[in-house]
């Protein structure tokens, strides 16, 4: 354990340190919105061309880099849940290149399961928050988050976990907010926007616990619903809803969320999904 983490775990000193770190993080986060909008722009896949861009990014990450799936002849990674999904991508403005993607899988009828229901329902031990307890049109799952290797150039990103948004705890320090992967945070915020503006009330995601811990520091406080299981690596089921998301999001990152929401809402109107 390094010295910073020892301080954070020390009574009184740890509390003071955490407050100082949070204040510092909030101040720095206010500049993130400007930095994000200068270089990056979220897009909803409002047409087939943009959907195919997402499928290509997923193929690059999930098939070519991580080998979670087999190489596809058309260079696109797709599955059965894409038909019930809304897709978001983030474009790098200076190069006019799409860097990453994520999807929000929805469920509009009883037989239309989320991926977590089909493959990992047994991992949910907190049954009070199981997707089975809620209306089908109010549940969704954040899924298939992928970041192309071309946009993971820092030392903190030179490992496979960063392809799916995970932060390296070896390089990551809570006192160094710049180590957060802005693209991954932007994707989660885009997914949150897609959900909250289309009537979704309950959101699930299978993610690595260390990513959940890192996201909690900036205020995205996913609630763990069960122990980690082997699902493309060690992942656990997590839950979040609009109230939890907005209550815990740090002030600085609320600014970034507002910026992303503004862009996403305009595009949701094109799909006639905005509520």
Mean per-residue pLDDT, 20-25: 56
- Give the Cα separation of 42 and 256 in Å (integer): 12
Look at residue 22 in the predicted model and tell me its pLDDT. 56
Would you place residue 237 in the very low, low, confident or very high pLDDT band (cuts 50, 70, 90)?
Answer: very high
Q: Average per-residue pLDDT in the chain? A: 82
Rounded Cα distance between 152 and 150, Å, is 6
Question: CB–CB of 137/94 below 8 Å?
Answer: no
Query: Of all residues in the chain, what percent carry a pLDDT higher than 90?
Result: 53
CA 161 to chain centre: 13
| Band of pLDDT at residue 29, cut at 50, 70 and 90 | low
H/E stretch holding 38 reads: helix 13-39
The answer to whether the CB of 87 falls within 8 A of the CB of 101 is yes
Whose tokens are 């205020």? That residue is 219
Residue 20 pLDDT class (50, 70, 90 cuts): low
pLDDT at 174: 39
Structure token pair of residue 181: 């992967």
Q: Which residues of 61-90 are buried (b: 16+ CB within 10 A; e: fewer)?
A: bbbeebeebeeeeeebbbbebbebbbbbbb
Taken in order of first residue, the domains within the chain and their CATH numbers are 3-38+103-270 (3.40.630)
Which tens digit of pLDDT belongs to each residue from 170-229?
A: 433 433 334 346 788 889 999 999 999 999 999 999 998 988 887 887 788 999 999 999
**pLDDT tens-digit profile of 48-77?**
999 999 999 999 999 999 898 999 999 999
User: Quick one: average pLDDT of 83-98?
Assistant: 93
What's residue 72's pLDDT? 97
The token pair at 150 is 């071309």
Q: Residue 200 contacts by C-beta under 8 Å, 6 or more apart in sequence?
A: 104, 106, 138, 139, 140, 194
The Cβ of residue 203 has, within 10 Å, a number of other Cβ atoms equal to 26
pLDDT at 267 over 80: yes
Model pLDDT for residues 104-132, shown as the tens digit of each residue: 999 988 889 999 999 999 999 999 999 99
User: Residue 254: pLDDT band by 50, 70, 90 thresholds?
Assistant: confident
Model confidence at 162, in pLDDT bands (50, 70, 90)?
very low
Task: Please determine, for residue 264, whether its predicted confidence score (pLDDT) is greater than 80.
Answer: yes
Strand, coil or helix: 92: strand
Tokens representing residue 152 in the block = 């993971």
- Quote the pLDDT of residue 7: 43
Q: Assess contact for 204 and 141: CB atoms under 8 A.
A: yes
Q: Which helix (H) or strand (E) holds 224?
A: strand 223-224
Judged against a pLDDT cut of 90, whether residue 261 lies above it is answered with: yes
pLDDT of residue 116: 97
Least confident range from 10-14, 75-79, 82-86, 118-122: namely 10-14
Output the pLDDT for position 24.
58
């Amino acid at each position: 354990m390094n010295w910073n983490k020892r301080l954070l775990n020390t009574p009184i000193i740890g509390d003071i340190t955490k407050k100082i770190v949070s204040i510092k993080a909030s101040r720095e986060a206010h500049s993130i919105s400007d930095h994000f909008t200068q270089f990056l722009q979220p897009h909803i896949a409002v047409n087939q061309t943009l959907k195919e861009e997402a499928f290509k990014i997923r193929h690059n990450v999930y098939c070519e880099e991580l080998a979670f799936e087999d190489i596809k002849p058309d260079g696109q990674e797709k599955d059965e849940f894409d038909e019930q999904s809304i897709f978001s991508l983030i474009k790098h403005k200076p190069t006019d290149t799409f860097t990453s993607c994520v999807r929000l899988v929805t469920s509009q009828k009883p037989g239309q399961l989320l991926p977590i229901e089909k493959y990992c329902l047994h991992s949910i031990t907190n049954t009070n928050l199981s997707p089975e307890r809620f209306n089908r049109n109010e549940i969704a799952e954040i899924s298939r988050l992928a970041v192309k290797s071309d946009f993971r150039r820092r030392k903190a990103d030179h490992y496979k976990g960063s392809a799916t948004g995970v932060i390296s705890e070896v390089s990551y320090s809570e006192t160094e907010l710049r180590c957060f992967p802005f693209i991954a945070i932007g994707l989660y915020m885009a997914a949150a926007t897609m959900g909250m503006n289309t009537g979704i009330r309950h959101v699930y995601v299978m993610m690595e616990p260390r990513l959940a811990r890192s996201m909690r520091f900036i205020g995205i406080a996913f609630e763990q619903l069960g122990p980690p299981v082997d699902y493309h690596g060690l992942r656990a089921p997590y839950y979040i809803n609009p109230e939890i998301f907005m209550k815990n999001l740090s002030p600085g990152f609320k600014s970034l969320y507002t910026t992303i929401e503004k862009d996403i809402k305009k595009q949701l109107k094109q799909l006639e999904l905005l509520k």
